[in-house]
Amino acid sequence: MKARQAPVISVRKRPRQARSARLVAYILEAAVRVLAREGAQKFTTARVAEAAGVSVGSLYQYFPNKEAILFRLQTDEWDQTSALLESILFNSDEPPPDRLRSTVRVFFQSEWEEASLRTALGDAAPLYRDAPEARKHKKTVTRQALTFMEEALPEVPANERAFVAGVVMATMSAIGKRVSGEARSKSEADAWALAIGEMLCAYLQRLAERKRSH
Amino acid sequence: MKARQAPVISVRKRPRQARSARLVAYILEAAVRVLAREGAQKFTTARVAEAAGVSVGSLYQYFPNKEAILFRLQTDEWDQTSALLESILFNSDEPPPDRLRSTVRVFFQSEWEEASLRTALGDAAPLYRDAPEARKHKKTVTRQALTFMEEALPEVPANERAFVAGVVMATMSAIGKRVSGEARSKSEADAWALAIGEMLCAYLQRLAERKRSH
Amino acid sequence: MKARQAPVISVRKRPRQARSARLVAYILEAAVRVLAREGAQKFTTARVAEAAGVSVGSLYQYFPNKEAILFRLQTDEWDQTSALLESILFNSDEPPPDRLRSTVRVFFQSEWEEASLRTALGDAAPLYRDAPEARKHKKTVTRQALTFMEEALPEVPANERAFVAGVVMATMSAIGKRVSGEARSKSEADAWALAIGEMLCAYLQRLAERKRSH
Amino acid sequence: MKARQAPVISVRKRPRQARSARLVAYILEAAVRVLAREGAQKFTTARVAEAAGVSVGSLYQYFPNKEAILFRLQTDEWDQTSALLESILFNSDEPPPDRLRSTVRVFFQSEWEEASLRTALGDAAPLYRDAPEARKHKKTVTRQALTFMEEALPEVPANERAFVAGVVMATMSAIGKRVSGEARSKSEADAWALAIGEMLCAYLQRLAERKRSH
DNA sequence: TATGAATGAGGGTTCATTCAT
DNA sequence: AATGAATGAACCCTCATTCAT
């Protein structure tokens, strides 16, 4: 019952020793397993601890509460996504639209591959969503999107470009989530990626053309 | 708490008498109030019953379980949305793109206006999502989208058109949900509607042009 | 962990039906048993519920939390004490000092007779002590003491009289508590009552004489 | 949590080295801080260890359990009180009643000054109260009281004098505790000290007079 | 038909104490 | 000697659902 009060979520103790780090990893892996296999509803600290082969007490030594585990899972995902964007959005000589299309494809694939985890993590969102730490992590991704937009829409004024970046991010992530939940096959996920890539490119192109025609 | 087992959700008893129908309405209104005011986490049968001025027992006479109430709320929303689409998507002489834009705008507005309800209902989705009855209700909306697409993309083959319809629906609904949760003002919601309308139109236009150029 | 924040303690539901009233009584009796037999440390809602032959859930239907049970026990004691004072302090033609002595004796006896309960309730005091409702109940006793003092020390100014009343109450209750915890026999408790009665009377007499000699 | 079974409390290891003695002192000071600042409820070994800048393990090297720390705190207080009595009750040429009054005043002041510690230590009493070692420490104080009484009530038979000494001690300590918890200002504590001093003197005087008149 | 008291499994979290390092 | 990670029983409380009245 803490969804609304933005629970404290910062890591209780920064483990310095390798052993501790391994334990944290075990717990997170167990958490992923529980979440993927049993769903958000059955995601309990007791189950996670058991799945990790650890006592509840130990679990609480590394995470201040249940929400913190979920938040960490989400954080890790954001980091991965951010790395993924980095590697595709900027590491290539292809024109921006092609890079955007690739990004969507890879992103949708990665979402689809761990669909049950993504869905469950989405279901658990109310528990960690309001954490103040969340915003910080979103910023990295936002900045990447902005950088890309500068390349893709150089002629558009900065503030409009920022807004468009938000629209593109939201579209990718919102539809990616839906695809991960509903796509029945890898190729279906790919078809969606193709369509959304196309849609985003059409949108960007139109924006660019409109500027030019002024 | 039966998310994964797709709880039985069909109405336990079709109320024939006016009194019963009124009771169901009271309960649903109370449910909306509880959901909007207290959030998904505090959505309990006891609270709904109390808000409705009804005993828990009575509540269970009309709804087999908690999920059924939520499902019904969602169902009602779909019906409203469907009516809304009907009224805008087809009742006008404007060209399809303009009608699509209007639809997005009106849809985003309606989502934004009852943001807290939408968010809470989304949070509760794991509880009713897997109900078998859900699909049936989605069909109505799907059919409307299809009909619209026939008008908007007459030259595109039917199976592709169906897919595109799905993409457009998903985009509208997924982003609409996000906007309802995050837009801070009515005008911000409108800005998003403008952008997404533009994006969808650009996409449809490109699809149409591509067909023509073949 | 609620001692410091003055937990909400007011009765959750004023039971109207005889059955409910009986249940509340059962629970309170069970609470007394648990407290007296197991001590404040082992006073848990589960144990009380079991001792009452009732489920934990039922217990929480009548008391919002553990503290409320303890508070109610204390409240009931205050009421009894207040009745006891009433019956002895005012219902007699004897001179005030004799009545005070009787009061102390009867009070110490009653404390001693349920010593283990008194001690345990005292131990649990941190849990209910800070409840805002507590003050109200103390007032009744305070008023009785004041009334008695008007009779016993008519020549002493009102504000000083009030202070003396407080001193007398505190002495009786603080030492009564200690006696209930440490007196080994009924007659030992009586010996203490005699001594404290004597002490209080000597004090009051001196105050009276001092006034007169001015 | 062993209140009723009179936990073993004797020091596990008599530290001979200066270092160890310092550690014990650190722990006790930390314990006082934790108790005064956080209250009895939050008095945990982990918190004390952290406040002392020591590991829990080290803490357990010098104290067999949590109760032992509390007990030691209480013991130290008794020692201080005893020294205080010693310095006032006997180091003066004033007549016994005046010395008693001074004692009460100084005692109440010292209680009031560390009120939060006293209250918390009182709240924690159930944890250490039943320790067998406790009695030994009380004896010192008792003996002092007896010695004083021999001076104050020379004509009263020894056994009665012992009882009266107990009454006086109990009154001072029980009311002192209450004052430390409830007095709002230093001067309020002083007013109580004055009144209780007066009361005790009146009592002793009456006892003396009664003997003489026989 | 309506009520709402009763149930009790289950949830999150704490903490005294131990023991391998 | 010192550390502090690990343990897990125990605690308080909630809530979907039932069923006697």
| DSSP code per residue over A68-80 | HHHHHHHHHHHHH
Give the separation between CA C110 and CA D193, rounded to whole angstroms.
28
List the single protein residue with the shortest CA to C1' distance from F11.
C44
pLDDT score at C129: 86
Provide the CATH number for the domain around residue D79.
1.10.357.10
Give the separation between CA C3 and CA C42, rounded to whole angstroms.
17
pLDDT, tens only, D43-76? 999 999 999 999 999 999 999 999 999 999 998 9
pLDDT, tens only, A85-142? 889 998 878 999 999 999 999 999 999 999 999 999 999 999 988 877 777 777 888 8
User: Chain C contact for D43, CB < 8 A?
Assistant: no
Give the separation between CA C120 and CA C157, rounded to whole angstroms.
39
Q: Of C183, C152, C186, C155, which Cα lies nearest the Cα of C167?
A: C152
Chains A and C, touching by 3 or more CB pairs within 8 angstroms: no
Domain annotation covers residue A109: yes
Give the separation between CA A162 and CA C50, rounded to whole angstroms.
63
D111: pLDDT confidence band, cut at 50, 70 and 90?
A: very high
A126, B88, B188, C54, C83 from B114: Cα distances, Å: 18, 20, 15, 43, 57
Record the pTM.
0.87
Q: Total structural domains in chain B?
A: 1
Domain annotation covers residue B115: yes
More confident residue, A130 or B208: B208
pLDDT score at A14: 45
Q: Which bases in strand E are touched by protein, i.e. have an atom under 7 Å from a CB?
A: 1-20
Domain annotation covers residue B74: yes
The arithmetic mean of pLDDT across residues B26-49, rounded, is 95
Distance from the Cα of A168 to chain B's closest Cα (Å) equals 10
More confident residue, A164 or D211: A164
Percent of the residues in chain B that have a pLDDT greater than 90, as a whole number: 69
Q: Of B129, B98, B118, B121, which Cα lies nearest the Cα of B179?
A: B118
What length is written for chain A? 214
Contact assessment for residue B153 and residue B161, using Cβ atoms and an 8 Å cutoff: yes
Structure tokens at B8: 């039985």
Please count the other Cβ atoms lying within 10 Å of the Cβ belonging to residue A116. 15
A-proximal residues of B, 147-206, CB under 8 Å: 163-164, 167, 170-171, 174-175, 177-178, 191-192, 195-196, 198-200, 202-203, 205-206
Structural domain of B78: 70-212
Flag the least confident range among A3-7, C30-34, D188-192.
A3-7
E strand or H helix at B206, and its extent? helix B186-213
- pLDDT exceeds 70 at position B202: yes
Indicate the SS3 state at residue C44: coil
Give CA angle at A16 (A10, A22), nearest 5°. 85
pLDDT score at B16: 55
User: Chain B contact for A41, CB < 8 A?
Assistant: yes
pLDDT score at D21: 86
Distance from the Cα of C43 to chain D's closest Cα (Å) equals 12
* Dihedral sign from CA coordinates of C128, C129, C134, C139: positive
D210: pLDDT confidence band, cut at 50, 70 and 90?
A: confident
Nearest nucleotide to C15 (CA to C1') is E5
B148: pLDDT confidence band, cut at 50, 70 and 90?
A: very high
Q: Of B21, B25, B196, B30, which Cα lies nearest the Cα of B106?
A: B196
Indicate the SS3 state at residue A138: helix
The arithmetic mean of pLDDT across residues B77-97, rounded, is 88
The arithmetic mean of pLDDT across residues C48-55, rounded, is 96
What contacts A168, CB < 8 A, 6 or more positions away? A100, A145, A149, A200, A203, A204
A14, A130, A131, B143, D165 from A71: Cα distances, Å: 16, 10, 8, 39, 64
- pLDDT exceeds 60 at position D6: no
Domain annotation covers residue C33: no
Domain annotation covers residue A192: yes
pLDDT, tens only, A8-55? 565 555 445 677 888 999 999 999 999 999 999 999 999 999 999 999
C153, D84, D177 from D193: Cα distances, Å: 20, 15, 12
Q: Of A100, A117, A92, A89, which Cα lies nearest the Cα of A172?
A: A100
Over chain A, what is the mean pLDDT?
89
Structure tokens at C39: 């001590």
| DSSP code per residue over B138-187 | HHHHHHHHHHHHHHH-TTS-HHHHHHHHHHHHHHHHHHHHHHHHH--SHH
A69, B76, C52, D63 from A115: Cα distances, Å: 19, 28, 49, 53
Percent of the residues in chain C that have a pLDDT greater than 90, as a whole number: 70
* Residue in this structure with the two tokens 């998903």, named with its chain if needed: B170
The arithmetic mean of pLDDT across residues C175-194, rounded, is 94
Flag the least confident range among A113-122, C53-62, C153-162, D77-86.
D77-86
Flag the least confident range among C108-112, C132-136, D21-25.
C132-136
Domain annotation covers residue C157: yes
